[in-house]
Amino acid sequence: MKKFNSYKSASYVVLILVIINLLSSQFFTRFDLTEDNRYTLSEAALEIIEDIEEPVIFDVFLEGNFPSEFRRLRNETRQMLEEFAAYNPNIKFKFVDLLEGENDAEAVAQEFYQIGMPPSRVSVQESGKSSEELVFPWAMANFGEKSVPISLLKNQLGASDEDRVNNSVQQLEYAFADGLSKLIYPREKKIAIMRGNGELPDAQIADFVKNLQDYYLLAPFTLDSAAVNPQKTLEDLKEYDLIIEPKPTQAFSEKEKFVLDQYTMQGGKSIWLVESVAMETDSLMNERGTALAYPRDLQLGDMFFSYGLRINPVLINDIYSAPIILASGSGNNTRFNPYPWFYSPLSASPNQHPIVNNIEAVKFEYANQIDMLKNDIEKVILLSSSPQTKVEGTPQEISLSMAGKEPNISTYQDGEQPLAVLLEGKFTSVYKNRVKPFRLENPVDEGSKSKMLVIADGDVIKNEIQRGEVLPLGFERYTGNTYGNKEFLMNAVNYMLDDTGLINIRSKEISLAFMDPEKIAAEREKWQVLNLALPLMVLGIFGFLFNYFRKRKYIKNLEA
C-alpha cells in the first residue's frame, strides 16, 4: 500500500510539472526588477522582433580581456540580446574574440577599418599603471545574404570611458532594433534630394545619402521644369514623403517657391540646410589668408517668415567650437596643427527631444542666427550655440590670423543662439492673399499638418573627401574626432518619416553604477585582506559553535 501511495504521489508531481510546462509555453512573461526598467523592451522594438520569421544571427565582437567598463558593456549587450531572443527564438547570437590565439591585433584592426567598423583604443588604469587596449565595439547582424554592422560604442568628445559606456548602454536597444529594421523591412518611403539651385555636389553629401539608402528610396529632384510646367512639377514632387535641400547657393524663383510652398501645404515634409551668408574656409587658402563674408539672398525670406522664422545674415562666433587645421612647413616636414576657430560652433541640445537626445555635439561652419516669430506653428530649438556667443554682422573680412588668438571673453555676451529649429503644425501659405506665380487647379492657403526642420548652415551635411575617397560625415581626419552630424541628420529623417517608432527608443534613460578606480587603488589591500580574513573568521566561529553545542548535547545525553 505504501508503495502504491508513493507511485501515486510521483504521478501527481509529474502531472503538475507537465501542466506547468504547458501553461508556461502558452503564457509567456518576464519580470524586470531593475529600477530604470533596463530590460523592458519598448513596443517599437517588440513589433520589429515579432516580425522576424527567419533566423537572424548576431556576431558580437565584444569578447576578450577588457577594462571593467567594457566588460560591463559586453554583459549588458549579452543581456539585451538574451531579452530579444526570449521573445523570438529566430534571434540567435554568439560572441567572438577577434584577438584569440595568434591573431595580429593591428592586422585585424586594419581589416575592420576597411569595412567601416573602426576599433577603439582605450586606456586601462590598473594598480597605478596605464596601458592601452584594442577593443572592437561592433556587432554584425546577418539575415540570409544581407548583413548590417551595428556600432555598440558611442564616442563623445571629452567623455570618460564610464560616460561613453553609460551612453552606449542606453542605446543598445535602439542599435539592435535599428539593425533588425534595416534587415527585415523593405524600403517604402521616398526622399527627394533637391538639385538645380547650386546645392552641394554629390560627392560632398555621399556619406549621408549612402546611409539613407539603407532605409529609404532616394532620387534627385530638380525644380527646373517649374518654369514651363509647374503643375506637373508639383504633382511629381508630391510623390515624395520628404525633401532634403542641401545648401542651395542660387536664388529660388517665385514659381519654384510656390511649388515648394504647396508641397508643404499638402503635408509634405522637408529638411532645409540653408545659409544667409556666403563664406567658405577654402576661400581663406590664398596668399593673404583672408576672405569676405557677405549676405546671400536665396529669395526664401518671405516663405520662412510666413512659416514662423527668419534666418539672419550674421555669423555665429562661439567660444565652444571645433578647431581649424592649418599646415606648416613643406614637403616631408609638413605638419597639420589645430588652432581655435570660433566660426565652427559645436552645438549641443538645450532639450531632450528624440532627434538630439544623447548625441555627440554637431559641428557647424559659419552658421547663421535663427529668429523665431509668433504664429500657431509649434517650434522646438534642437541645436543652439553656447552661452558664450558673439553675433557678428556682415559683410566683414575673415582672416586666418584670427586663429589661435586669445578671444576677448567680455565681448561674448549674446548668449545661446538657435541654429536648428523644428517646426510642426498646420502651415499657412506664403501666397495666401497674394497673386499666385502660376495658375493652380486647387491652391491651398491653410495647410494640413506637417513638419519642417530648418538648419542655418548647409555644411552640417557635408562630408570631407581625401584623395578621392569619401570620409564619414562628421569625421575630422586630422584630429580623429567624430562629431554628431550624421546621427543628428539620420535621427531627423527618422523622426520625419518614422513608421516603426525607433526614434522613441532613444529617449530611454539608463543609469549604470561604476566603481571608482582611484578608490579601488587606494583601498585595494584593505579589501583583499577583508575578503580573505572574513570568510576564515566566519568559518572559525561556525566551527567553534558547532563543537560547543555538540559537546553540550553529548554531556546532557550522558547525564540522562
Question: pLDDT for 147-183, tens place per residue?
Answer: 889 988 876 555 666 777 777 888 888 889 888 988 8
C-alpha span between 321 and 385 (Å, rounded) = 9
Cβ–Cβ contacts within 10 Å for residue 170, how many? 24
Residue 427: per-residue pLDDT: 96
Grid-cell match 577583508, residue found: 530
Q: pLDDT-derived band of residue 293, with 50, 70 and 90 as boundaries?
A: very high
Cβ–Cβ contacts within 10 Å for residue 175, how many? 21
In degrees to the nearest 10, what's the CA dihedral of 486, 489, 491, 497? -140
Q: pLDDT-derived band of residue 34, with 50, 70 and 90 as boundaries?
A: low
Q: pLDDT-derived band of residue 90, with 50, 70 and 90 as boundaries?
A: very high
Query: 62 vs 132, which has greater pLDDT?
Result: 62
* 297, pLDDT greater than 90: yes
Q: State pTM to two decimals.
A: 0.76
Per cent of the chain over pLDDT 70 is 84
357-390: pLDDT as tens digits: 878 899 999 999 999 999 999 999 999 999 999 9
Instruction: Give 264-309 as a DSSP string.
Output: HHTT-EEEEE--SEE--GGGG-SSS-EEEEEE---S-HHHHHHHTE
DSSP category for residue 475: B
C-alpha span between 407 and 61 (Å, rounded) = 45
Q: pLDDT-derived band of residue 127, with 50, 70 and 90 as boundaries?
A: low
**Rounded to whole angstroms, what are the CA distances from 127 to 376, 519, 522?**
61, 11, 9
Describe the chain by its helix, strand, coil percentages, rounded to 5.
35, 25, 40
Contacts of residue 26, defined as CB under 8 A and 6 or more positions apart, other chains included, come to none
Instruction: Give 327-364 as a DSSP string.
Output: EES-GGG-EEEEEEEEEEEEEB-SS--TTTTT-PPEE-
262-286: pLDDT as tens digits: 999 999 999 999 999 999 999 998 8
Q: pLDDT-derived band of residue 290, with 50, 70 and 90 as boundaries?
A: very high
Q: Prior bond to 443 cis, omega within 30?
A: no
Task: Answer for the pair 133, 121: CB distance below 8 angstroms, yes or no.
Answer: yes
Query: 236 vs 129, which has greater pLDDT?
Result: 236
35-47: pLDDT as tens digits: 555 557 888 888 8
